[in-house]
Amino acid sequence: MTAVPLTVLSDDEQMFYDAIYDFAKKEISPRVSAMDEAGKIDADLIPSLFELGLMGIEIPEQYGGAESSIFTAILAIEALARVDPSVSVFVDVQNTLVNNAILRWGTEEQKAHYLPKMTSEWVGSYALSEAASGSDAFALRTRADLDGDEYVLNGSKLWITNGAESSLFIVMANVNPELGYKGITSFLVEKGTPGFTVGKKEDKLGIRASSTTELLLEDCRVPASNVLGEVGKGYKIAIETLNEGRIGIGAQMVGLAQGALDYAMSHMLQREQFGKPIAHFQGLEFQYAQVATDLEAARLMVYNAARLKDAGKPFVKQAAMAKLFASQVAERTASMCIEFVGGVGFTKEYPVEKFYRDAKIGKIYEGTSNMQLATIAKEMRRSYQRRIG
């Protein structure tokens, strides 16, 4: 099946999307089932993602990157998710969270040291969440104590995407818990640093090939030069990075929904009952027409948020809306597609079952749906308050 026409794209953007989708169909699709069963990404795929430039989309050319935009990144994320949301989020976290944070807050020395690695061989992870720090992101307990020209980190992190494959971790720790969130600081921690251990990998419902791990820090000594941004400004980095990350998750959910619908439509056009393809029955027509309408609306919301961000305009509310709505649409779409396909859709032999499992995480990670609603409400209050004075 060819790529769906995306009418809001330029010719170059459409060509890029089509190229990534073709790659995904040829190189990723044959591995999806095995990777899901094994619960890990095929290591042979990772070099190809670097060779295509997908692991450094916004990084400047001087560091080996494509020097493109968040919009280009979300096109890649969407196209990959159409085939395997696990590979999609692998690329997503690298670009929207890790590379983005280094680009925005890294020193020139940090950029020169790390960005060439991030475009050529290193995978990155973003480590904020803890057992007691989920939606209340700034309740983290990981400590960082200054000792000479080093910080000593102690604590643990949970739900760390790409943890099993990563060489670089952006770790949030508090240098002064008495200051609350104003003590939170970001650190660049390399795999292999003494005292730093990647812990157990979670056995998940969906996106199983995407590794989700815990991190353990026991007297982990990190040079003070590896502080990302200013000491005590980690909360700002966390908030602003996740705002961009939500656009990526929205794109992942749009791609997932499109992949499920692609398969279901193909099935309904070939599956005959009562002498004609089931796609011609009005009872199904009304349902898949509504699914397609919701999906297009979600796609346009995601694209709008990305365009705003690239234009340097406020996008926080739009990113939250896009993530919220796209995750809702993905879950509904994947569920409906199982019904469209019928009994075989409930089996692991057909891809819609996996899309359904993969969709659930969209309402949870990088900010739950309720947290998105809270963000939207806060932004609305600010907007209306400015109007009324």
Catalytic pick from 58, 331, 366, 379?
Answer: 366
Residue 82 DSSP SS3: coil
Q: Report the b/e string of 230-265 with b at 16+ CB within 10 A.
A: ebbbbbbbbeebbbbbbbbbbbbbbbbbbbbbbbbb
| 135 phi/psi in degrees, rounded to 5 | -65, -35
Known catalytic residue at 366: yes
As given in the structure block, the two tokens for residue 170 are 């952006």
Which residues pair with residue 156 across a beta bridge?
A: 216
| 215 phi/psi in degrees, rounded to 5 | -125, 140
Task: Report d(CA 8, CA 3) in Å as an integer.
Answer: 14
DSSP state, residue 67: -
CB-facing half-sphere around the CA of 35: CA atoms within 13 A: 26
DSSP state, residue 95: I
Sign of the torsion angle spanned by Cα atoms 90, 95, 97, 101: positive
Nearest-10 crossing angle of helices 234-270, 70-81? 40
Which residue's structure tokens are 């393809």? Answer: 277
Task: Report d(CA 231, CA 141) in Å as an integer.
Answer: 16
Contacts of 372 (CB under 8 A, 6+ apart): 246, 320, 321, 323, 324
> What DSSP element (H or E) covers 285?
helix 282-310
Contact status, residue 352 vs residue 345, Cβ threshold 8 Å: yes
Contact status, residue 10 vs residue 18, Cβ threshold 8 Å: no
Give the distance from CA 217 to its chain's centroid: 25
Show the CA angle centred on residue 354, arms to residues 35 and 273, nearest 5°: 130
Which residues carry out catalysis?
366
